Amino acid sequence: MAATQEFHQRPAPVTLEGYGVKLVPLQLEHAPSLEKAAADGNLWQLRITSVPAPGTTTAYIEAALKGLQDGIMLPFAVIEQGGGSIIGTTRYHDIVPPIARLEIGYTWYAKSWQHTHVNTACKRLLLAHAFESLGAQVVGWRTDNFNYASQHAIERLGAHKDGILRHHKLRRDGTVRDSVMYSMLASEWPEVDRHLESLSLRHAD
């Protein structure tokens, strides 16, 4: 009989905290703060991201909470611990319990917090929770083939580039994108964790 591949515990809302950030379950009450974060850099103007445009943030959160209700998403608001403000969002998505797989995505931060410790900190918290608490066997990522910054950030974590899904999904402007796919196995996590620790120390210098 094959060994079970299911999660040790089913993904459920949880607060993750450390490395200067706090990830809290996304709620409708976060809409004004999240819209303010998106306005830092007018992030919705980037066609290769999923940042909500002004006036659509509540609907954006409602869709995320529908994914939570359906058991396929687990969305978070990202809080910078120093000032206590919401600076972005991220989530687990495409959760597949029978094979203990999930993906990390829908990630964006206010422009003033990009290229700081924040992304490394968030990913370290999410990966540690996925592998160590949930018992995930694999964590995946997908990104627009033209989103080179996202690809670089994912590769910097130590994820494996699996390939490209051509003609994969629609962008918000109606054009069709290819998706670059990445993954990380549970067996790779200990080495990646050490790598992320070294990245965190660099940010602390």
Domain count, the chain: 1
- Residue 69, in any domain of the structure: yes
pLDDT of residue 177: 96
- Residue 7, in any domain of the structure: no
pTM of the model: 0.94
pLDDT digits (tens, 9 = 90+) for 108-123: 999 999 999 999 999 9
pLDDT band, residue 1 (cuts 50/70/90): very low
- Residue 2, in any domain of the structure: no
Q: CATH number, domain at 95?
A: 3.40.630.30
Domain that holds residue 122: 16-204
- Residue 32, in any domain of the structure: yes
For residue 82, give the DSSP letter: T
- d(CA 141, CA 102) in angstroms, rounded, equals 9
pLDDT of residue 50: 86
- Residue 184, in any domain of the structure: yes
- Residue 58, in any domain of the structure: yes
- Residue 5, in any domain of the structure: no
Long-range contacts (CB closer than 8 Å, 24 or more residues apart) made by 66-69: 67/91, 67/93, 68/13
The helix-helix angle for 118-128 and 148-157 (nearest 10°) equals 50
pLDDT digits (tens, 9 = 90+) for 15-50: 999 999 999 999 999 999 999 999 999 999 988 888
